[in-house]
Structure 1
Amino acid sequence: MMLIILELFYFLELEILMINSSMIVMTILIDWMSLLFMSFVLFISSMVIFYSKEYLSGDLTINRFIMLVVMFVFSMMLLIISPNLISILLGWDGLGLVSYCLVIYYQNIKSYNAGMLTALTNRIGDVALLMAIAWMMNYGSWNYIFYLEELKNEKFMVIISFLVILAALTKSAQIPFSSWLPAAMAAPTPVSSLVHSSTLVTAGVYLLIRFNYSFSNSMMFLLLFISSLTMFMSGLGANFEFDLKKIIALSTLSQLGLMMSILALGGYKLAFFHLLTHALFKALLFMCAGNVIHNMMNCQDIRFMGGLIMNMPLTCMFLNISNLSLCGLPFLSGFYSKDLIVEVMSMNYLNIYIYLIFYISIGLTVCYSFRLVYYTCVGGSNFISLNNFSEKNMLMLKGMSGLIFLVVIMGSCLSWLIFPSPYLVILPFYMKIMTLLMIFLGMWIGYEFSKFSLSYKNLSMKYKNLSWFFSSMWNMPYISTFGINYFNIVLGSVYYKNLDQGWSEFFGASQISENLVYNSKKLQIILNNNIKMFFILFIMWMIFLLLF
């Protein structure tokens, strides 16, 4: 608060080593943004570790798990306080490496595939960051914070900012790198809660917030287009998904698209504001989902759930509050950031595509949230009749209770804190209430959509194909798994048959060996009959002598 009010920031340089007047320095940037974000990450991770004490109570390797989570948080801290690309890369790579270890924590083939997809997609961003480091050699220092505004239109800075955007797109799972985010749900639920609220996926957005001064208009336009498409795609996909954790993961992706798109419109403070409020309710949402899965004997399919409000009232209450906060219902924390983002977007001179896609995405958010509530909390239970749902897990409930108050009140507190001078938003009446209209429309559509009998007997083939296309994130997981493996292997087999075993064999080794064998056979005939040859040559020689 002091740093915000006084507009201070501290830039610390810690000298690690000095050899022949060459210094190796660790730089730390402490300003209101890094301190606020660090406090959020630390608070959420403390709640998650507290929660996982009971969630993984039967696990023999729980200490290893806690250590991995602590390493994860440490990497994030390093990333937040670094104004230097080298130390950012350390934190960035630490996040990628530890997230791989956490995704494959439950050791089975699905986890290994998901972990590999996560690690390899994030490697693209790491390489982009390494290339940005190489380009920054031209400036004589890697403290990017000094160069952003001064060298904005310089050609090296354009390349660096493009590489940073590429790195952020992979880490924050925007199109075309989205498929790893739902796959990473193979991790234990406390990890999902931490990863999808405040650490791994927000690292890309945070990096872009730090770099936002250096983006040219064309970069901003590209980022806006990609992120708005991601927001729409994931909102649509969540309406066709049946896995509880994947629905929440897709909702994270949708919110990341929202943050990126408002950042691309120039509102980096708004993106940061939404980042913080989203971290709170998304962590709580995952914790509730974890409690439900824990009670349902590790079943994640929402079609088996129902009537949980009777057996798990507190968890359902937390789930509903965080869901409504996610939808942007007035006066919960999500409303303050989301409504402000949409109103600022409405005030800009924008084309109809951006305007519509923002509002449709908001409607879709409410739609899948209400679908989730309809499937899980309302009606009778669809699980086996000998169930034992209970809320005796006190540690898990305490961990969730720590977050619920912040989910309700933190939005207004942050809006006073981050924007000390009030924004003046002037919109016509219909544009002003458009957000509320979309929320209620989304509620209604979500409720109607849930009542569809989605058993495959009743559906036409066209609808099946459409729902399959939407639920698979526009075929992105297939492109990034089969698309990378399958076609290369098929091409390899064609190449092997037609070139290695085909034409190159015909014109190469086998042709040469055939020629050699053929010629050597001729020579062999001559050499085997050498006396005959001698006499024939003798006769020819005599004839030659007689003629001439």
Structure 2
Amino acid sequence: MVWKIYMHMTSMLCLGVAAFFFGGLSLVSMSTGKCSLIEWELSSLNSLTVVFVLIFDWISMLFLSFVLLISSSVLYYSGSYMKGDKNFNRFMYLVLLFVFSMGMVILSPNLISILLGWDGLGLVSYALVIFYQNEKSANAGMLTVLSNRVGDVAILLSIGLMMSLGSWNFIFYLQDMVDEKWLLVKFLVMVSAMTKSAQIPFSAWLPAAMAAPTPVSALVHSSTLVTAGVYLMIRFSSALEGSKIQSMLLIISCLTMFMAGLGANFEYDLKKIIALSTLSQLGVMLSILSLGYPDLSFMHLLSHALFKALLFMCAGVVIHSVKGYQDIRYMGCLVEFMPLTVAYMTLSNLSLCGFPFLAGFYSKDTILEVAFMSMINFMSLILYIMATGLTVMYTMRLIFYSLSGNCNLTTLSNIADEDKIMSDSMSLLGLGAVFMGSVLSWLLFPECYMICMSMFMKNMVLMISFLGALIGYMLNMLSVSSKLSSLLYYKEVVMFGSMWFMPFLSTKNISEAYLVWGATNEVLNDKGWFEHLGSQGLYYTFSKIFMILSSLQMNSIKVFMKTFVVMLVVILLFFS
């Protein structure tokens, strides 16, 4: 037990010190405009060199400082949350390995060195999703790792295509990649980013990954795994200017944030609601990036990481207090028993909605204003407006069912803010959710954006948010006090609540088709022609040849006589 306590304390201190160290370095790099590049040559073949590269510029160090800060809070939080687990040490090592893999992705401007961290994220996330060993976790882990393998294959293909450049340091070739001949490479990078950031049609794995412990969810769905794809696209953003990839990414990301916001309004699992809100915000980041504003996307990435990690940690405290239930219908009136946790949860929810002067306001409000001001198509504009309203709707729904509302708790629930470790770990992120939005806006945008729009468009975000809050709260009050009218529209509710049937399409039909194809391929190829023409066939052929050679080398008189007679017969036949 002593080792467990020291382990989470030591991890928190080390990662916290490293976070402030890299944060200071990023400020120095930002003010001086300098960056450092460290390169190790692993192997060289003709003009191709395989190198391991680390880049230390203000973007990578600032993001790494946020990741380390959130990781230190999550690890300290895990010391209380996972205290009774017999595999506590394994959990802590896996989380540290996960943070290390994310650091590899952040600091690498080279596709080969990125692949190390990219694969590490996929592998360790699988190990964390199946941490609670049951059938549901195994299915969720398999869906997660197989979905991410698509992105790994896309990265491998882009590595092969970039071989013609003579180097895989893509950061030096971004201006050359603006040319349309590099369209396939950019498409493959976009596919790999879509799989990691769970965009359509790879969205099914993100809510399924909620089978992992809540501290893992707080880390994975705020600043590490799902943001790796967004970060990669930010690095590649200058190569996407004027490309067809931008239009494709805009439509996909807008559909994703609308679908996730709609699905969260029909979901009752607390962690899945927060996961779907993460998916919606990832769509916001990628959509504004596809419009040509990677700096805004990066700012929202950082501010979202803080309040989303805080929201997951509050959800973990709530789940602990209500005996492990995750259904929000078994909660209610928590504000009377857990005022501090409810205050942090409300703070992060309001920041998610873009409440004025919280962290999410500075990035989200600017994103919506820039999107409304830019040359955006009508479909994307409507999706932006509807996704904004749906975000406030599911937030008010979550507040109504779990925090205020009617008391639906069981009699044996011991609900209180008594855990000091969990409360302390949330305090730092609570401060970040309040102040870091303004700090980031001062740091990243020393010169203000020029916003030119009508009064109606300017006030549209406020109107949509207010309308969404009103509709969300009123609908939930009616649904509790009246008959379950959703049963009258069962098919529609199932469709919207299941992310447009994406989990079914990602598992049942595709897996069955691949299993049938795999069985046929195994019989015909792996155990058929590949064996005959491959290893087994070559083995039998070489075995016969070696037996003949061996018998010739035995110096047997019979063999020589037979050989002599055969050669004599052949010569006679030839001359006759």
**Quick one: distance in 2 between partners of 1:485 and 1:19?**
40
The correspondence for 2:399, drawn from 359, 369, 373, is: 373
The correspondence for 2:331, drawn from 286, 296, 305, is: 305
Q: Is the 8 A contact 2:48 2:167 kept in 1?
A: no
Structure 2 stretches lacking a partner, 5+ long: 1-26, 522-576
Aligned to 1:506: none
Give the superposition deviation at 1:490.
8.2
The correspondence for 1:211, drawn from 236, 242, 255, is: 236
Aligned length: 494
Q: 1:306 to 1:461 in 2, by over 3 A?
A: closer
| 1:165 partner letter | M
Give the superposition deviation at 1:484.
1.2
Q: Is the 8 A contact 2:52 2:112 kept in 1?
A: no
**Quick one: distance in 2 between partners of 1:408 and 1:370?**
19
Q: 1:481 to 1:452 in 2, by over 3 A?
A: farther
Cα deviation, 1:306-353, whole Å, max 9, x if unaligned, reads 010011110000000000000001100100000000111111122222
Q: Is the 8 A contact 1:227 1:261 kept in 2?
A: yes
The correspondence for 2:340, drawn from 306, 314, 324, is: 314
The correspondence for 1:354, drawn from 364, 377, 380, is: 380
Residue 189 in structure 1 maps to residue 231 in structure 2: no
1:93-132 maps to which residues of 2 (within 5 A)? 93-132=119-158
| 2:138 partner letter | Y
Aligned to 1:4: 30
Q: Is the 8 A contact 2:48 2:166 kept in 1?
A: no
Q: Is the 8 A contact 1:456 1:464 kept in 2?
A: no
Give the % identical residues.
Answer: 55
Aligned to 2:566: none
The correspondence for 2:200, drawn from 166, 170, 175, is: 175
Cα deviation, 1:361-405, whole Å, max 9, x if unaligned, reads 111000000000000111332021232111111101111011100
**Quick one: distance in 1 between partners of 2:43 and 2:115?**
20
**Quick one: distance in 2 between partners of 1:486 and 1:445?**
41
**Quick one: distance in 1 between partners of 2:292 and 2:249?**
11
**Quick one: distance in 2 between partners of 1:20 and 1:427?**
56
**Quick one: distance in 1 between partners of 2:48 and 2:267?**
56
Residue 480 in structure 1 maps to residue 511 in structure 2: no
Cα deviation, 1:131-166, whole Å, max 9, x if unaligned, reads 0000011110010111111232151x2111110000
Q: 1:36 to 1:429 in 2, by over 3 A?
A: same
Q: 1:138 to 1:461 in 2, by over 3 A?
A: same
TM (norm. structure 2) is: 0.83
Aligned to 1:408: 434
Q: 1:292 to 1:408 in 2, by over 3 A?
A: same
**Quick one: distance in 2 between partners of 1:223 and 1:200?**
19
Residue 144 in structure 1 maps to residue 167 in structure 2: no
Q: Is the 8 A contact 2:331 2:402 kept in 1?
A: yes
Aligned alpha-carbon RMSD (Å): 2.1
Q: Is the 8 A contact 1:11 1:29 kept in 2?
A: yes
**Quick one: distance in 1 between partners of 2:197 and 2:360?**
20
Aligned to 1:325: 351
Cα deviation, 1:184-218, whole Å, max 9, x if unaligned, reads 00000000000000000000000000011112431
Give the superposition deviation at 1:119.
0.2
Aligned to 1:422: 448
Q: Is the 8 A contact 2:218 2:313 kept in 1?
A: yes
Give the superposition deviation at 1:15.
4.4
Aligned to 1:276: 302
SS of the residue corresponding to residue 105 of structure 1 reads coil
Most deviating of 122-131 and 373-382: 373-382
SS of the residue corresponding to residue 40 of structure 2 reads strand
Q: 1:490 to 1:65 in 2, by over 3 A?
A: closer
**Quick one: distance in 2 between partners of 1:360 and 1:459?**
23
**Quick one: distance in 2 between partners of 1:73 and 1:285?**
20
The correspondence for 2:470, drawn from 438, 444, 450, is: 444
The correspondence for 1:431, drawn from 452, 457, 463, is: 457
Cα deviation, 1:251-274, whole Å, max 9, x if unaligned, reads 000000000000000000000000
| 1:424 partner letter | M
**Quick one: distance in 2 between partners of 1:271 and 1:92?**
21
**Quick one: distance in 1 between partners of 2:486 and 2:154?**
45
Aligned to 1:54: 80
Aligned to 1:541: none
Aligned to 2:97: 71
**Quick one: distance in 2 between partners of 1:22 and 1:224?**
35
1:517-532 maps to which residues of 2 (within 5 A)? none
Q: Is the 8 A contact 2:178 2:243 kept in 1?
A: no
Most deviating of 275-284 and 377-386: 377-386
SS of the residue corresponding to residue 29 of structure 1 reads strand
**Quick one: distance in 2 between partners of 1:447 and 1:18?**
63
| 2:217 partner letter | S
| 1:304 partner letter | Y
Residue 246 in structure 1 maps to residue 272 in structure 2: yes
Q: 1:19 to 1:160 in 2, by over 3 A?
A: closer
Most deviating of 81-90 and 433-442: 433-442
TM (norm. structure 1) is: 0.87
| 2:224 partner letter | T
Aligned to 2:227: 202
SS of the residue corresponding to residue 491 of structure 2 reads helix
Structure 1 stretches lacking a partner, 5+ long: 496-548
Aligned to 1:225: 251
The correspondence for 2:113, drawn from 87, 112, 116, is: 87
SS of the residue corresponding to residue 451 of structure 1 reads helix
Task: Specify the structure having the higher radius of gyration (Cα).
Answer: 1
Give the superposition deviation at 1:420.
1.2
Cα deviation, 1:400-455, whole Å, max 9, x if unaligned, reads 01110010000000000001111111211111111111111111011012124379
